Structure 1
Amino acid sequence: MSSNTKDGITIRIMTVEDYKNVKAFMEDDFLLSEPLSQSSGESFHQNKDNGEYLLSMIAQDTCLVALDENNGGRLVGFVMAGAQFPEDTEQHRVEAEAMEQHTWGRIYRLLSKIEREANIFERFGISKALYSHITSVDKAMRGKGLGSRLAATLMEVGRSKGFPVMVAYCTSFFSARQKEALGMQCIHSLTYADYKDAHGQPIFKPAAPHTMVRAMAIKL
C-alpha cells in the first residue's frame, strides 16, 4: 500500500528502521496502558525471542506506523501484525509454556490459550490468517479515531495480500469495542475472573471495564 495522510497523520508500512522507535514506544506507552500489564505492577520484560518475532512480522510488510507530520514525523501509533498458519498454534503453545513467570510470559500463555480455543482455522475453513498482534496509539492522540484508522488500514493490507480472515485477541474492553465498530465479531472470550492459577486465584485482575479477553475476527 502507499501511505495515506489525514489531518496531518500519515499511516504507512513499517520498516526495520522504524523498529527502534516502535520498541521504545511499546515499552513506554503501550505496556503502561495495556490492562493486563498495567495491573501486574511489574516492569516489562522484552525477551530476545519476542523481538525476533516482531521483526519477522515487519519483514512481511504487514505492520504499520502512524506519524505526526505536524510534529517532525513523530511516531504516534503502530500496529504489529503478521501471517499465521495452523501449525503456529501448537508452536505458540510450546513457546508460551517455556516462558518465565513474568508479566509477558503470563500474557503470552493466556493469548496462546485463547488462540487454541478460538480455533480460527477450523472455524473459518482457512489455511492462513492475518493476526493483528499489537495496536497502540499515543495517549495524546486517543479518542480521535487513529486506532480505527490503523485497524481499517490493516484490513486493506490483508485484502491486498490475499488473507481471507483477520483476527485479534483483545485484552482491552476499548480495543474490542473499536474493532467491533469496524465489523469484527467476537468469536470466543474468557473472563479474567475465571482464568486462575494452581491455587485457584485469578491470574489477572485488571480494572473495570476490562473484564475479559476476546478473540475478534472478520472475513476479508
Structure 2
Amino acid sequence: MNCLKLVKITASNVASFSKLPLRMPFHIQSRSDSSIEKVTHRKRSPCEVCIFPPDRKPCFDIRNVTIERGNNSHANQIRSFLYTEFWPREPSVVGLWMCLNCPYLEILTEKYANSGDRLLALERIKRTGEQKLVGVSVSNKVFPWAADELEEWAHHTASTPERNRMYFCAHCIRSPNLFQKYNVEFIYEVEVLATAAEVSGQGVGTTLLRTALAHAEELRYPLIQVVAVSQYTSRICEKCGMKREWSMDYSDFVDDAGQRVFFPRRPHHTVAIYTTHYNPDVGFREPCKPPFL
C-alpha cells in the first residue's frame, strides 16, 4: 500500500512540473524567442584576453622584435619576403599592373637580397622560440649618374611597365635636384622599407627606419633619402623627423603620348621624397656613459 501511494505522489509531481513554463539557462537565452543561438562551452584562449588597445592586435608585441643586420645567408628569406609582402603592395608596381614574374622585378629582388645594407626585423615567438621575419630595410648609395643610366636602360626595354617604372625612378632622382642643393657626392637612399601585412602600423617600419638613420649617422653619410611611394611610408618618415623635399601626384606622371601611367589604389595618390641631412664636420653624437662611471 505504501508503494502504491509513493507511485501516485511521484506521478502527480511530474504532471505539475510539466505544466510549469520551461526556462532556458542564462547562457543560451536569446533576445528573440524564435532564434536560439548555439553556444559552445570552451576555455578562453590567451589571445582573447587583450591587454593592448582595441586598434592593436593582441598577439603582437613590439618588445619581442629585434633588428639584425642581414648577410648572404639571409638572401632566401629576403627574396621570399619581397615577393610575398613588398611587391604585391608597392604602388609603383601594383599601379602599373606589373606581374611578379617579370625579369625586372627578378633583377631588383636579387639586388636587394644580396647587396646593400640590409636590416631585418625579427619577431621572437615565445611559444616555440623561433624568429619570424616581419620587416626588411635595404639601403644603397645613389650617385648623380644613376638617372642617366635608368633612362638609357628604359629606352632599350621592350616591356611597357618596366620602362615606365625606370623612367619614374629616374624622374624621382632628377626632379628634386638634391645633389646640387646639398652639394653632396652621393645620397644614401633607403630603397626598401617593408613590413608584413599582419604587423603593419604597429611600429616595425618606424623601428627599421630609425635604425637605418642611426647607421647612416654613425658612418657620417651627409644625406639620407626615402622615396615614399605610399602614404604609409610617408607617415613613418614624418614620425622619424625627416624633411619633405618634393612631392608629385601619380596622375601627373604621363608617357610620351600624354596618357596617365600610374593607377594606384587608395590612399596612395602621391609620391614624396623625405631627407635627413647630417653635417660630416660636426661628427657623430657621443654615446651615453653608464651611470656607474
TM-score range, shorter chain: 0.7 to 0.9
Give 3-state SS (helix, strand or coil) of 1:78's partner.
Answer: strand
Give the alignment partner of residue 88 of structure 2, picking from 32, 54, 59. 32
Give 3-state SS (helix, strand or coil) of 1:201's partner.
Answer: coil
Q: Any conservation in 1 of the 2:154–2:162 contact (CA below 8 Å)?
A: no
Partner of 2:175: 117
Q: Any conservation in 2 of the 1:114–1:189 contact (CA below 8 Å)?
A: no
Q: Which stretches in structure 1 are left out of the alignment for 5+ residues? A: 1-5
Give the alignment partner of residue 206 of structure 1, picking from 242, 256, 264. 264
Give 3-state SS (helix, strand or coil) of 2:145's partner.
Answer: helix
CA RMSD of aligned residues (A): 2.1
Larger Rg: 2
Q: Does 1:188 align with 2:243?
A: no
Map Cα deviations across residues 66-89 of structure 1 (whole Å, 9 max, x no partner).
111226112111011112223333
**Post-superposition shift, 1:17?**
1.3
Q: Any conservation in 1 of the 2:82–2:109 contact (CA below 8 Å)?
A: no
Q: Any conservation in 2 of the 1:97–1:109 contact (CA below 8 Å)?
A: no
Q: Does 1:22 align with 2:78?
A: yes
Instruction: Supply the AA of the counterpart residue of 1:82.
Output: N
Partner of 1:106: 164
**Post-superposition shift, 1:196?**
1.2
Give 3-state SS (helix, strand or coil) of 1:130's partner.
Answer: strand
Partner of 1:127: 185
Map Cα deviations across residues 64-113 of structure 1 (whole Å, 9 max, x no partner).
11111226112111011112223333333323443442544432320111
Rounded Cα–Cα distance in structure 1 between residues aligned with 2:97 and 2:143: 34
Distance 1:174 1:55, change over 3 A: closer
Normalising by structure 1, we get a TM-score of 0.87
Query: Larger % of strand: which?
Result: 1
Give the alignment partner of residue 66 of structure 1, picking from 121, 127, 134. 121
Partner of 1:43: 99
**Post-superposition shift, 1:198?**
3.0
Greater RCO, 1 or 2 (C-alpha within 8 Å, sep 6+): 1
Query: Larger % of helix: which?
Result: 1
Moved more, 161-170 or 79-88: 79-88
Distance 1:52 1:207, change over 3 A: closer
Q: Which stretches in structure 2 are left out of the alignment for 5+ residues? A: 1-61, 279-293
Normalising by structure 2, we get a TM-score of 0.66
Q: Does 1:80 align with 2:135?
A: no
Question: Number of residue pairs matched?
Answer: 212
The percent identity for this pair of structures is 19
Moved more, 48-57 or 177-186: 48-57
Partner of 1:175: 233
